Amino acid sequence: MRILLVGATGTIGKAIASVLESLGDEVIGVGHSSGERSVDLANAEALRRFFDATGALDAVVCAAGVAQFGSVQELNDEAYDSSIANKLMGQVNLVRFGRGAVREGGSFTLTTGTLSVRPTPGTAAVAMASGGVESFVRAAALDLRGRYRVNAVSPGWVAESRQAIGLAPMPGIWAADLARCYVRLVHGDATGQIVEAEE
Ligand SMILES: NC(=O)c1ccc[n+]([C@@H]2O[C@H](COP(=O)([O-])OP(=O)(O)OC[C@H]3O[C@@H](n4cnc5c(N)ncnc54)[C@H](OP(=O)(O)O)[C@@H]3O)[C@@H](O)[C@H]2O)c1
């Protein structure tokens, strides 16, 4: 398969690329500030133009999406706006604008996070953005059924991300184990599914 992977330079994205490539897929990796190719999820016009140059694809996988942490008392207009533009609408727009590039029968696999259903204090915007993506996935899959599959992986805390801030890796999920959830959705036949992946 020829697969566009947004967030390919990240902790989760690198692991997804590695598993897909080990299975013989061609991965077109895209970063934001690094890597050969880049795109800004938060820039809708750039994203629309981006798909003019990708060529034909079998699947789009997104392992990117930024939302702002902070309590309801702390989050300002900009924090909500940027969370919506990036993690929520950025991923919605991958499906909207990517349809022209993805062959019929192809798929979109997005990324949310378990804070959408099990929030902790200080995560209102993050939970909101992930919850929005999950609702979009369930509804879009109905509209696109038979033409495109749309799913999301909802990770818990990734072990490598815990280590990066000095925590013990557990309770967490290793990126390589998480990557297999994405690959099962890309290579399978599910649609409208939110796959939770924790330790
Ligand atoms: N890590 C966790 O514990 C965890 C848990 C639950 C959910 N998630 C979600 O999983 C996703 C990936 O997490 P991660 O830990 O792998 O993140 P990461 O290591 O920080 O990597 C983020 C990736 O997204 C790219 N990116 C950043 N801003 C972007 C933008 N505006 N447009 C397009 N691409 C952009 C980065 O590109 P550059 O490297 O070029 O900047 C990088 O490839 C995020 O949505 C995150 O919320 C992560």
**Candidates 161, 173, 181, 194: which one to mutate for ligand 1, based on the most atoms within 8 Å of Cβ?**
161
Model pTM score: 0.98
Residue pLDDT, tens place only, 110-131: 999 999 999 999 999 999 999 9
Residue 165: per-residue pLDDT:
98
Pocket of ligand 1 (CB under 6 A): 6-13, 31-35, 39-42, 63-66, 86-87, 111, 113, 155, 157-158, 161
Residue pLDDT, tens place only, 145-182: 999 999 999 999 999 999 999 999 999 999 999 999 99
Domain ranges of the chain: 2-197
Tell me which CATH homologous superfamily contains domain 2-197.
Answer: NAD(P)-binding Rossmann-like Domain (3.40.50.720)
Contacts 24+ apart (CB under 8 A), 25-34: 25/1, 25/186, 26/1, 26/2, 27/3, 28/2, 28/3, 28/4, 28/54, 28/57, 29/5, 30/4, 30/5, 30/6, 31/7, 32/7, 32/64, 34/9
Q: Whose CA is nearest to atom 29 of ligand 1?
A: 32
